[in-house]
Amino acid sequence: MTVHYGKGVAALGAGELQKLRDALPRLRQQLKGNALIVVQGYADLDEGPSPDTLARTRANRVRRFLEQNGFEIRELSSVGLPAGKPASGAAADAMRRVELVIERD
């Protein structure tokens, strides 16, 4: 699952936040057994002086949202991944995101 962000912001817009809320039951179902949700934050290189920090902040905020909605800390991991090369238009919009990846043992 992927949620997207506006340029330079770490807060989700109302539509993306609702998308995340709607996905909670599906995420809980996917965690049955030995699984982990890895919250991967991304940023565009043009998002200020520290895009890697912004990527980590995005990932950590989504992880905290999941914790506040009943997921246990042991079920979650978050990481900010290095910013990709500069992009514009739709390519830049696609880089400003958080992806939730289910990892199984």
Residue 6 in contact with residue 13, Cβ under 8 Å?
A: yes
Confidence (pLDDT) at 14: 96
Superfamily (CATH) of domain 2-104: OmpA-like domain (3.30.1330.60)
Mean pLDDT of the chain: 90
Q: Confidence band (pLDDT; 50, 70, 90) for 86?
A: low
Q: Which H or E run contains 66?
A: helix 51-68
In the numeric block, the tokens 């090369």 are attached to: 85
Q: With 70 as the cut, is the pLDDT of residue 87 above it? A: no
Q: From CA 32, how far away is CA 36, in angstroms rounded?
A: 10
Confidence (pLDDT) at 45: 85
Confidence (pLDDT) at 73: 93
Q: From CA 39, how far away is CA 60, in angstroms rounded?
A: 8
90 vs 46, more confident:
46
In the numeric block, the tokens 């919009």 are attached to: 93
Q: What's the pLDDT tens digit per position in 45-75?
A: 888 889 999 999 999 999 999 999 999 999 9
Mean pLDDT of the region 28-45:
91
Confidence (pLDDT) at 46: 83
Q: Are strands 97-104 and 35-41 parallel, antiparallel or unpaired?
A: antiparallel
Instruction: Please name which of 42, 33, 41, 31 lies closest in space to residue 102, comparing C-alpha atoms.
Output: 31
Q: From CA 61, how far away is CA 43, in angstroms rounded?
A: 14
